[in-house]
A and B are shown apart, each in its own frame.
Chain A
Amino acid sequence: MQKFDKHVLKNGMVILGEPIEGVKSAAFDFMLPAGTSRLPQGASGAGQVVSDWIFRGAGDYDSKALNDAMDSLGLQRGCSLDNAHITIGAAMEHAKLDAAMGLYADVIRRPRLDEKQFEPARQLAIDGVKAMEDDPRQRVMVELRERFYPEPLGRNPIGRIDELEKLQPGNTALFVTQNFNPANIIVGVAGKYDFDKVCAKMEQLFADMEPAEQPDVQIEKPGPKYTHIPHDGAQVHIGLMTPTVRPDDENYYKVRLAVSVLSGGMSSRLFTEVREKRGLCYAVGASYHALKEAAGIACYAGTLPDSAQETADVILTEFDRLKEGISEAEMQRARAGLKSAMIMQGESSGSRAMAIGGDYYMLGRIRSIDEIREKVDSTTADDVVEFLRNNSFEDFTALTIGPKEIEIKR
């Protein structure tokens, strides 16, 4: 039986652990409840600025000294932003875990947020928005999620140039760091570690951090159904997204398996129908995407302009065709793909630290590999098909970027 560690500080901060045998590495992630949904209207992008700014000096370290200290420990650093969290973390050789946690406590609790360092952090955030315009493949999905999820859930964490330009050092810091609320911080640790020592260290570093009340996020209506953004590139980049159940729903595994039938491997339906049989594109795929409040199945395809309409038509047909039946062989492959992806992910400390924190946030608990295995194995093709018949994919949000507009035929 797989064992997970858990400890809760008095202020509510949750520390989770997953030991991994036979590794010399350890990793941790701090999920700070300061995601884009929590920012005031007109301040999107503030999270991006702050996630850079807090590393420009903290505690006794100025910017250079802090980065040098992290580099001396050989930290492989990660930072990601979504609607709910700014997640910062690192993977390292296990003996460095204690020292690394100390540095991250400085970053979270005592960032210097020096005004002189605000301007370069803001400028890099603006540059990031501009860079995305040169990467339509990434942009199409970011813009799609923004329209698919109701405001402010889909908000793009990269921000908008006009809003970034209006930010001031004082309010930017406040918008974000006031949400570094220990009552809602989740910390995941994975790899080779001693949980008693981790807890003692975390008590020492964070026990005196004051918890606060955080208001719930107010949700509004989603955006337009189809948007085309003209772009004089070589391809039309197509994004489609349709609503589905969240990870805490009893039908969750049916949906994950349906997505796996659609796009799990190279024998899956989208790859076979769009690329192998028709040669319509190089990249096509669908994936499940979830927030705590809502979830969807997102689909991407990049194609030459003359093939764009047919590509979109074939994809939508495949979504509809799922409910007409799934063979046992297809189902078996979908199960194998889903399970092996989940087990092989368990080999890396970094991805496990992230995964256990994510599970806990979404479900309030961590799923074991045995549980996932059992749920996947016990879901039949009939279960999936019956679910899809009662919940067919009617409603699509679509976005295209490229030289040619298409029609979404629903």
Chain B
Amino acid sequence: MEFKTHTLDNGLTVVGEINKAAKSAAVGFFVKTGARDETLDINGVSHFLEHMLFKGNDRYDAFEVSQAFDDMGAKFNAFTSEENTVYYAAVLPEYLEQAARLWMSLMRPSLRTDDFNIEKNVIKEEIAMYQDLPMFDVLDSCRNLHFDGHPCGNSVLGTVESIDGLTDQQMRQYFDRRYAPNNMALVVAGNVQWQKICAAADELCEKWQHMETERQITDASGSGKTKRKAKPNLVREHICLMSKAVSAQDPQKYAAVILANIIGDSRGSRYYWEIVDKALAETAVMEPDTMDGTGEFFTYIRCGEDKAEQVMTIVNKILKDIEQNGVTDAEIEKARNKILGAMVLKNELPMGRLLDLGLNWNYLGKYIPIDDDIQAIRQVTAGQVHELARQCNISRYTRYSVGPAEK
């Protein structure tokens, strides 16, 4: 495994982890922009742009973009979060340079008005689709309630109103501000011919203009509010809890991964034995979301409406107990094995490595070899996990529920 970087004069960094034994390769652009970088009048524009990049430019129209990827048999897509917009493709090694060149070209899109207008419908269909998925609905609503005015509470998709109100000019202005070469990284992983990728970047990306970009970074401890939305078409109670966690820059993030695993891994965790094993809820899981300068733990529970309060009493007991008494060494050991097991598998795929490489670069500006991550997980102690639980005050949470209306 070999690590390389190459930086252009305009600030674009190319990052690569080369593994000649891999059967495939992956390439991606990691743009440091998302819903938290939007104002409410243009809410949803980051995600809208993600769709618009696939519409092409003077060289490729939308259909030709799709064709070009499909010609290579690429597995390609993109996603937008609160703070990152990521474009990626996994291909056979012989196509990597071609796929990388295609993405480089697409990063300078035409953003045509006709495409913008038709894509509004697709985005509104996507909003409707997520409304029919209560698990997403409750997570999105809870994030909004938890961050309560902090930009990390902004919806990634936006609302039907914000999308209707968005103009193509606003979108272009946002693009110019956020898609500067110094605000993104080009990342490659797997079986990569490094020199060819760098030469392509020098050729195709050197004219991109450096721009001053900034992001408002403030921590948030969360509102701690409680809210419920009733929907007549639902059968189950969907509950989301959010409490403060550490940021992606904080070395305690490894302890956060272990803590969430002990409390809410899908099997063998405290939630599992106290709630799922007893069939009080069919799902009760917790995960950390470590973000740029802030972070949160979220819990998702799905159960019968009649069981909701019983389940919440148990959840409160678990969280308070860990805050007061910490966790056992045996729990640390089990969580560590599960996490390391999952890491081995994920890291065998270039696509899995790509995401870690790109996100680490955006958050930390540096490369973290797999062995360092493994080492950091191994070194977490029960004392550190207890301290983190106390410091984050995990039993103080924001709660949002979506469930059936009164019959």
The one of A67, A281, A346 that contacts B268, using a Cβ cutoff of 8 Å: A67
Q: Which residues of A contact B74 (CB under 8 A)?
A: 265, 340
Decide if A275 touches B122 in the complex (CB within 8 Å).
yes
Chain A nearest CB from B348 CB (Å) reads 5
Decide if A231 touches B129 in the complex (CB within 8 Å).
no
Decide if B341 touches A74 in the complex (CB within 8 Å).
yes
Name the residue of chain B whose CB is nearest to the CB of A22. Answer: B21
Decide if B72 touches A131 in the complex (CB within 8 Å).
no
Chain B nearest CB from A211 CB (Å) reads 32
Any chain B CB within 8 A of the CB of A150?
A: no
Chain B nearest CB from A41 CB (Å) reads 26
Decide yes or no: A267 and B66 within 8 Å by CB, A63-B277, A71-B268 being known contacts: yes
The one of A70, A91, A127, A307 that contacts B304, using a Cβ cutoff of 8 Å: A127
Chain A nearest CB from B69 CB (Å) reads 7
Q: Which residues of B contact A347 (CB under 8 A)?
A: 22-24, 348-349
Decide if A130 touches B119 in the complex (CB within 8 Å).
no
Q: Which residues of A contact B308 (CB under 8 A)?
A: none
The stretch from A117-125, A164-172, A286-294 touching chain B is: A117-125
Mark contacts of A118-158 with chain B using CB atoms, 8 A cut-off: 1 yes-contact digit, 0 otherwise.
Answer: 01111110011011011111000000000000000000000
The one of B66, B235, B273, B342 that contacts A272, using a Cβ cutoff of 8 Å: B66
The one of A74, A127, A275 that contacts B282, using a Cβ cutoff of 8 Å: A127
Within 8 A of B (CB), among A51-85: 56, 63-64, 67-68, 70-77
Decide if B73 touches A93 in the complex (CB within 8 Å).
no
Any chain A CB within 8 A of the CB of B217?
A: no
Name the residue of chain B whose CB is nearest to the CB of A342. Answer: B73
Decide yes or no: A332 and B278 within 8 Å by CB, A234-B128, A234-B132, A266-B54 being known contacts: no
Task: Give the CA-CA distance A75 to B344 in the complex, in Å.
Answer: 11
Most buried by A among B72, B129, B131, B268: B129
Chain B: number of interface residues, binned into ranges: 35 or more
Decide if B334 touches A348 in the complex (CB within 8 Å).
no
Decide if A120 touches B277 in the complex (CB within 8 Å).
yes
Q: Which residues of B contact A346 (CB under 8 A)?
A: 23
Any chain A CB within 8 A of the CB of B124?
A: yes
Q: Which residues of A contact B122 (CB under 8 A)?
A: 275, 279, 281-282
Task: Give the CA-CA distance A123 to B282 in the complex, in Å.
Answer: 9
Task: Give the CA-CA distance A133 to B91 in the complex, in Å.
Answer: 37
Decide if A73 touches B337 in the complex (CB within 8 Å).
yes
Most buried by B among A73, A121, A127, A346: A127
Decide if B70 touches A265 in the complex (CB within 8 Å).
yes
Chain B nearest CB from A136 CB (Å) reads 6
Any chain B CB within 8 A of the CB of A232?
A: yes
Name the residue of chain B whose CB is nearest to the CB of A348. Answer: B349
Q: Which residues of A contact B128 (CB under 8 A)?
A: 234-235, 302, 304
Decide if B21 touches A279 in the complex (CB within 8 Å).
no
Any chain B CB within 8 A of the CB of A10?
A: no
Any chain A CB within 8 A of the CB of B125?
A: yes
Any chain A CB within 8 A of the CB of B238?
A: yes
Residues of A within 8 A of B (CB): 21-25, 56, 63-64, 67-68, 70-77, 91-93, 119-124, 127-128, 130-131, 133-137, 231-235, 237, 264-268, 271-272, 275-276, 279-283, 302-304, 307, 329, 332-333, 336-341, 343-344, 346-350
| Between-chain CB contacts (< 8 Å), 14 pairs | A24-B344, A71-B337, A122-B279, A130-B304, A235-B129, A264-B70, A266-B76, A267-B66, A279-B125, A340-B91, A341-B75, A347-B22, A347-B349, A349-B348
Q: Which 8 A-B pairs have the closest CB atoms?
A: A74-B341, A340-B73, A267-B66, A336-B73, A279-B121, A265-B70, A123-B279, A266-B66
Residues of B within 8 A of A (CB): 21-24, 54, 62-63, 65-67, 69-76, 90-92, 118-126, 128-129, 131-134, 232-236, 238, 267-268, 273, 276-279, 281-283, 302-304, 333-334, 337-342, 344-345, 348-349
- Besides A120-B278, A271-B66, A336-B70, 11 more A-B contacts (Cβ < 8 Å) are A23-B348, A24-B344, A56-B277, A120-B277, A127-B302, A133-B236, A136-B132, A275-B122, A276-B63, A343-B92, A344-B90
